[in-house]
Amino acid sequence: MTLKVYRQKRNFNKTSEPKGKVVKDRSKAKKGKGKELSFFVQKHDASRLHYDFRLEMHGVLVSWAVPKGPSLDPADKRLAVHVEDHPLSYGGFEGSIPEGEYGAGEVIVWDHGKWKPLEDISPEKGLEEGRIKFELQGKKLKGAWSLVRMKTSDSQDAWLLIKDRDDFAISSKKYDILEKMPKSVISSKVIKSRKAKS
């Protein structure tokens, strides 16, 4: 695992995003049922508004860009494009990426907490096989979730983020968590109306 692609895309003289480092593999240090790793969801008002869904694995944040954001409705299968690994320290990043830089726009930490795998296979194996079942213990997102890789022929590494059926699932007709809980979990900031960008 490496942060090479992450670093190549960014100019750290211009952006306040962390340069970061690969930390000691906490998933290996925490064996068995006590294994709890960090997750983060950032709301990012880049050229297109999206949510970045990040799971701690092997010392980095394995990341997916979710254009429509997570849904608590198991019927909503949300596209999640697997993107480059980010440093663990990225999870706490909030701020404005300057115009002209990669991902220019506002970022807030929309949710964070712990996650744990719900299957016997390691998350790394799940990543390889295109199927990860996990539990989230966030401030907003809770319960069982799945990430499943789509079998597509195009070059995008497209997955689906799906809420599994449990007590935390709710119909999107009844409750839209993105609308009801828009604030940052660390600063209470919100991303205001979409900017028109060309």
**Site of interaction with Mn ion (CB under 5 A):** 44, 52
At closest approach, how far in Å is the CB of 47 from Mn ion? 10
* Nearest-approach distance from CB 46 to Mn ion, in angstroms: 6
Number of Cβ atoms within 10 Å of the Cβ of 190: 13
Min CB(26)–Mn ion separation in Å: 24
CB of 137 to Mn ion, least distance (A): 23
Nearer Cβ to Mn ion, position 105 or 117?
A: 105
Distance of closest approach, residue 139 Cβ to Mn ion, in angstroms: 20
Q: Which residue is nearest to Mn ion (CB)?
A: 44
Please give the Cα distance from 87 to 20 (Å, whole number): 5
Q: Kindly tell me which of 65 and 136 has the beta carbon lying closer to Mn ion.
A: 65
Q: Which is nearer to Mn ion, 107 or 127 (CB)?
A: 107
Question: What is the DSSP secondary structure assignment for residue 196, as one 8-state letter?
Answer: P
Our CB check for Mn ion shows the closer of 144 and 191 to be 191
- As measured in angstroms, the least distance from the Cβ of 103 to Mn ion is 5
Residue spans of beta strands (DSSP E) within the chain = 37-45, 49-57, 60-66, 78-87, 95-97, 105-117, 131-138, 142-149, 158-163
Nearer to Mn ion, 65 or 162 (CB): 65
What is the rounded distance in angstroms from the CA atom of residue 182 to the CA atom of residue 171?
18
Pair 81, 46: CB distance under 8 Å:
no
Q: Return the number of the residue (52 or 85) whose C-beta is nearest Mn ion.
A: 52
Q: How far does CA 67 lie from the centroid of its chain?
A: 11
Closest by CA to 123, choosing from 57, 52, 31, 38, is 57
Distance (Å, whole) CA 149 – CA 10: 27
